[in-house]
Amino acid sequence: MGVSGFGVHTAMWAMEWNREAAEYAIPEAVRHGIDFLEITMLDPEGVDTDHTRRLLEKHEVECVCSLGMPLDRLPTNDPDGALAFLKLALDRSHAIGAKAMSGVIYGGIGQRTGFPPTEAEIDATARVVRAAAAYAAGLGMEYGLEAVNRYENHILNTAEQAVAMVEKVGADNVFIHLDTYHMNIEEKGLANGILKAREHLKYIHLSASDRGTPGCDTVQWDEVFATLAAIGFKGGMAMESFISVPPQIASALSVWRPVAPDREEVLGQGLPFLRNKARQYGLI
């Protein structure tokens, strides 16, 4: 997908990506030896693309972008509006130099009907993803689908469901994005999820079981890294921890208390912990 090695989700520094966030986070990425940033694109129109691109190029940091779609513009309730939003987000992501856009870019965080997804919902989702992926391909970008837990979305919760969607869409630039926090809830073993997604897996969030500091949690990290090594994983590994979460995002993610004392603990302990595990298993 164009990025590899270790990245950090910009939620570490700010959830709203503006000039101030860019000027703070990008030099911090360099200071911590991070290979790439995952930049939130929740408000595409509010991103100063020229400013961000100049800073990324100046500091030689690569990026991917991620988002969850607005709940009033989903493939299942407004397919035209959903596609228009995704095209805007792709344009803005491309403008800052992103190699890919990923996340809940098939639906929204908080998208739940109270029932399992219907065939009509799956079909509607696939149609919009197919069209958005084609648009991304025209920009030279890849398009990632993140399976998230049952409390955040009811369309894709498991690696198996993500594989089915990728194969239904049938586009070469669509890949699977897993997340250890969500897998810890949904998969019958972290290794099983990675193995099921292996043919399409290009990106993974390394997230603690409480979304705090990796290594101070209950995720079976040796299982995660050993399985990634076993499948010859070459994609991006991004640490995601929600330290700075505005109220509207906190509500969607159900984050009601601090998940770590501060970002210094997560970056000072969690990031080296993950790097050491990756090095132990020959992934870096």
Which residues are annotated as catalytic? 146, 240
Torsion of the alpha carbons at 67, 70, 73 and 75, rounded to the nearest 10? 50
Count CB atoms within 10 A of the CB of residue 134: 14
- Report in angstroms the alpha-carbon separations of 76 from 95, 148, 269: 28, 17, 41
Q: Measured between alpha carbons, how far is 209 from 225 in angstroms, rounded to an integer? A: 15
Instruction: Give me 247's structure tokens.
Output: 């109220």
Q: Measured between alpha carbons, how far is 26 from 56 in angstroms, rounded to an integer? A: 7
Please name the residues in contact with 189: beta carbons below 8 A apart, sequence gap of 6 or more.
223
What per-residue string of b and e applies to 6-27 under the rule 16 or more CB within 10 Å gives b? bbbbbbbbbbebeeebbeebbe
